[in-house]
């Protein structure tokens, strides 16, 4: 089967990522290359507070990765991500061939803080009062 380009967004354990960022990225890249994937581009996207706790974590570091692989390998890649203690969640989307170059270039040149300012919000500066849960 022909290789297609995929966009992978990996939510990583922020404490482990902060302690050893290069090792954390290498871990994700090793999972991809183990299944004969070619990594096109990869960068830290942002560190954000999660909407709800995932495995007890309230914050996660996002790693945006573009890679080429055979579509039949995705099931194995996702299975390895689920077995990893560094990866909290993953989302893998197929990139349309016409948008491939544009998306990769945009991912490598834009900064997460500029994107947040452009959107008009910043999670760290959110001062809205929080509603209490009914069971508290």
Q: What is the pLDDT along the chain (136 residues), one digit of tens a residue?
A: 678 899 999 999 999 999 999 999 999 999 999 999 999 889 998 899 999 999 899 999 999 999 999 989 999 999 999 999 999 999 999 988 877 777 777 776 766 555 545 544 555 555 667 777 777 6
What distance lies between CA 5 and its chain's CA centroid? 16
Report the C-alpha gap between 113 and 47 in whole angstroms.
Answer: 10
Q: Which domains does the chain have, with CATH numbers?
A: 3-125 (3.30.70.60)
Q: Tell me the C-alpha distance between 122 and 109, whole Å.
A: 20
Predicted model pTM: 0.74
């Amino acid at each position: 089967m022909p290789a297609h380009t995929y966009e992978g967004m990996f939510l990583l354990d922020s404490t482990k990522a902060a302690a050893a960022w290069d090792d954390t990225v290498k871990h994700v890249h090793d999972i991809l290359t183990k299944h004969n994937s070619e990594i096109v581009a990869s960068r830290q996207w942002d560190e954000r507070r999660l909407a709800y706790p995932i495995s007890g974590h309230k914050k996660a570091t996002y790693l945006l990765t573009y890679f080429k692989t055979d579509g039949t390998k995705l099931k194995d890649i996702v299975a390895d991500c689920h077995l990893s203690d560094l990866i909290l969640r993953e989302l893998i989307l197929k990139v349309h061939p016409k948008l491939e170059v544009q998306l990769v270039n945009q991912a490598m040149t834009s900064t997460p803080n500029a994107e947040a300012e452009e959107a008009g919000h910043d999670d760290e500066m959110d001062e809205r009062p929080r509603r209490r849960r009914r069971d508290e």
